[in-house]
Structure 1
Amino acid sequence: MVRLDLGNVVLRRMKEEDIEAVKALIKEGCEGSENRLILHLLTRPLALLMLATMSSVLRCVLHSFIMALVIPVFLLIVYLKLTIPRRTGILGSSRPYWDYVGSSFQAEGDASLQNPHAARAKLVTAQEKARRRKKTKDKEKEKEEKAKEKETVDEEELKERSRVAGEVWVADYDGEIAGSIARDGWSREGVCRLCRVVVQSWYRREGLGRLLVQSLEERERQRGTARVYAHVPFPSKVGEAFFRKLGYRLQGETADGEEEEEDDEDYEESEKGWLGFAISKVFVKKL
Structure 2
Amino acid sequence: MVRLDLGDVVLRRMQEKDIEAVKALIKEGCEGTENRLILHLLTRPLALLMLATLSSILRCVLHSFIMALVIPVFLLIIYLKLTIPRSVGILGSSRPYWDYVGSSYHADTEPDLPNPLSNRAKLITNQEKSRRRKKAKEKEKEKTNEREQVDEDELKERARVAGEVWVADSDGDIMGCVARDGWSRDGVCRICRLVVQSWYRREGLGRLLVQGLESKSKQNGIRRVYAHVPFPSRVGEAFFRRLGYRLQGETAGTEGEEEDEDYEEPQKGWLGFPLTKVFVKDL
Q: Is the TM-score greater than 0.5?
A: yes
Matched, 1:221 2:252: no
Partner of 1:30: 30
Matched, 1:267 2:263: yes
Structure 1 residues 159 and 57, CA gap change in structure 2 (3 angstroms) = farther
**In 1: Cα distance, 2:99 partner to 2:55 partner:** 38
Partner of 1:247: 244
* Matched AA of 2:15: K
Partner of 1:77: 77
Matched, 1:202 2:223: no
Q: Which secondary structure does the structure 2 equivalent of 1:209 belong to?
A: helix
Q: How much does 1:45 deviate?
A: 1.0
Q: In 2, are the aligned partners of 1:87 and 1:94 still within 8 Å (CA)?
A: no
Matched, 1:43 2:40: no
Q: In 2, are the aligned partners of 1:37 and 1:279 still within 8 Å (CA)?
A: yes
Partner of 1:172: 169
Partner of 1:278: 274
- Equivalent residues in 2 for 1:15-164 (5 A)? 15-90=15-90, 92-106=91-105, 110-121=110-121, 158-164=155-161
Q: How much does 1:21 deviate?
A: 1.3
Q: How much does 1:76 deviate?
A: 1.8
Q: In 2, are the aligned partners of 1:6 and 1:118 still within 8 Å (CA)?
A: yes
Q: How much does 1:119 deviate?
A: 1.5
The sequence identity of aligned pairs, in percent, is 74
Structure 1 residues 107 and 121, CA gap change in structure 2 (3 angstroms) = closer
Moved more, 55-64 or 203-212: 55-64
Partner of 1:237: 234
Task: Give the TM-score taking structure 1 as reference length.
Answer: 0.83
Structure 1 residues 45 and 154, CA gap change in structure 2 (3 angstroms) = farther
Q: How much does 1:280 deviate?
A: 1.1
Structure 1 residues 22 and 255, CA gap change in structure 2 (3 angstroms) = same
Per-residue CA deviations over 1:193-244 (Å, capped at 9, x if unaligned) read 1120110000000000000000000001101111111111121000110000
Query: Structure 2: where are the runs of 5+ without partners?
Result: none
Structure 1 residues 75 and 151, CA gap change in structure 2 (3 angstroms) = farther
Query: Structure 1: where are the runs of 5+ without partners?
Result: none
Q: Which secondary structure does the structure 2 equivalent of 1:170 belong to?
A: strand
**In 1: Cα distance, 2:39 partner to 2:96 partner:** 22
* Matched AA of 2:161: V
Q: In 1, are the aligned partners of 2:176 and 2:205 still within 8 Å (CA)?
A: yes
Measured on the aligned residues, the alpha-carbon RMSD in Å equals 3.0
Q: In 1, are the aligned partners of 2:93 and 2:192 still within 8 Å (CA)?
A: no
Q: In 1, are the aligned partners of 2:251 and 2:258 still within 8 Å (CA)?
A: no
Q: How much does 1:158 deviate?
A: 4.5
Q: Which secondary structure does the structure 1 equivalent of 2:190 belong to?
A: strand
**In 2: Cα distance, 1:66 partner to 1:253 partner:** 44
Matched, 1:211 2:208: yes
Q: In 1, are the aligned partners of 2:247 and 2:279 still within 8 Å (CA)?
A: yes
Structure 1 residues 68 and 79, CA gap change in structure 2 (3 angstroms) = same
* Matched AA of 1:180: C
**In 1: Cα distance, 2:154 partner to 2:198 partner:** 34
Structure 1 residues 152 and 73, CA gap change in structure 2 (3 angstroms) = farther
Q: In 2, are the aligned partners of 1:190 and 1:225 still within 8 Å (CA)?
A: yes
Q: Which secondary structure does the structure 1 equivalent of 2:87 belong to?
A: helix
Q: Which secondary structure does the structure 1 equivalent of 2:32 belong to?
A: helix
Task: Give the TM-score taking structure 2 as reference length.
Answer: 0.84
Structure 1 residues 66 and 107, CA gap change in structure 2 (3 angstroms) = farther
Q: Which secondary structure does the structure 1 equivalent of 2:104 belong to?
A: helix
Per-residue CA deviations over 1:136-164 (Å, capped at 9, x if unaligned) read x9xx99xx89x96x777776665444333
Q: How many residues align?
A: 269
